[in-house]
Chains A and B, each alone.
Chain A
Amino acid sequence: QVQLVQSGAEVKKPGASVKVSCKASGYIFTNHAMHWVRQAPGQRLEWMGWINTGTNGTKYSQKFQDRVTFTRDTSALVVYMELSSLRSEDTAVYYCARPQYSRVGDYYFDYWGQGSLVTVSS
């Protein structure tokens, strides 16, 4: 069965970076991209971007463009999300989500990781 297992909670100071991992299993890793979505406490879901696990191409939301990097390790079946220059507003649960193709430029997310809480506090 498809599973996305993420790394554990992190506490970081403002200005630091955080790297969250998402290990995929139960499907052919390179057949699906991976998206990242975050959710601040009590807030809506927020799309951050995606990585093409086959080509390593990426697309970032304009909001995070300057601070986020997605990478992948095809041998380990893991994708990573690194967010730099952290500030208190980045405190959130970060999810990886597997997209299912809907039509050109349109996807829905059929599997989600369990989420990784990142707390930014001095």
Chain B
Amino acid sequence: SFELTQPPSVSVSPGQTASITCSADKLGNKFVHWYQQKPGQSPVVIIYQDYKRPSGIPERFSGSNSVHTATLTISGTQPTDEADYYCQAWDSGTGFFGTGTTVTVL
């Protein structure tokens, strides 16, 4: 069955780059969307269709997707980027979310 796997946690210093991976078999053949979720809040889409940013999302968020792994990159990480991040994709008409990654800005 289709499964999206993410690292449970990523730690990054302010101003540095954080990379979050999302892995599945042949994921590169699908679109991957990314959501940010802060405690007690609803998710917000920050990347859609692998690399596109909705209006209002800072340029420091970028995405890529190839073969079996999609990557969300946060460049120049800010303390406000501390949150949970989820990838999302579709397989055979069913929606799937990744296992989630907690980004801690130390």
Chain A contact residues, CB within 8 Å of chain B = 35, 37, 44-47, 59, 61-62, 95, 100, 102-103, 105-110, 112-115
Which residues in A have their C-beta under 8 angstroms from that of B42?
A: 95, 112-115
Q: Are A108 and B97 in contact (CB under 8 A)?
A: no
Chain A positions within 8 Å of B37 at CB level:
45
24 contacts across the A-B interface (CB closer than 8 A): A37-B97, A44-B97, A44-B98, A44-B100, A45-B37, A45-B43, A45-B86, A45-B97, A47-B94, A47-B95, A61-B94, A95-B42, A95-B43, A102-B48, A102-B49, A106-B31, A107-B90, A108-B31, A108-B88, A109-B88, A110-B45, A110-B54, A112-B44, A113-B42
Contacts of A103 in B (CB 8 A): 31
Given contacts A113-B42, A114-B42, A115-B42, contact A44 B86 (CB under 8 A): yes
Q: Which of B37, B90, B98, B99 has the most CB of A within 10 A?
A: B90
**CB 8 Å contact bits of B13-33 with A (1 = contact, 0 = none):** 000000000000000001101
Number of interface residues of B (CB under 8 A): 23
- Summed over the interface, the residue pairs from A and B with CB atoms below 8 Å come to a total of 58
Chain B residue at smallest Cβ distance from A109: B45
Please provide the chain B residues from 62 to 97 with a CB less than 8 Å away from any CB of chain A in the complex: 86, 88, 90, 93-97
Once the chains bind, are B93 and A59 in contact (CB under 8 Å)?
yes
> Are the CB atoms of B49 and A108 closer together than 8 Å?
yes
A20 smallest CB distance to B (angstroms) = 14
**Which secondary structure dominates where chain A touches chain B?**
strand
**Judging by beta carbons under 8 Å apart, are A100 and B96 in contact?**
no
A46 to B100, CA, bound (A): 11
CA distance A62 to B44 in the complex (A): 26
User: Separation in Å of the B6 CB from the closest CB of chain A?
Assistant: 9
Known interface pairs A59-B93, A62-B94, A102-B31; 9 further A-B residue pairs with C-beta atoms within 8 A, sorted by A's residue number: A37-B95, A44-B99, A45-B35, A95-B42, A95-B43, A107-B95, A109-B88, A112-B42, A114-B42
Report the nearest A residue to B6, measured CB to CB. Answer: A44
Residues of chain A contacted by B97 (CB below 8 angstroms): 37, 44-47
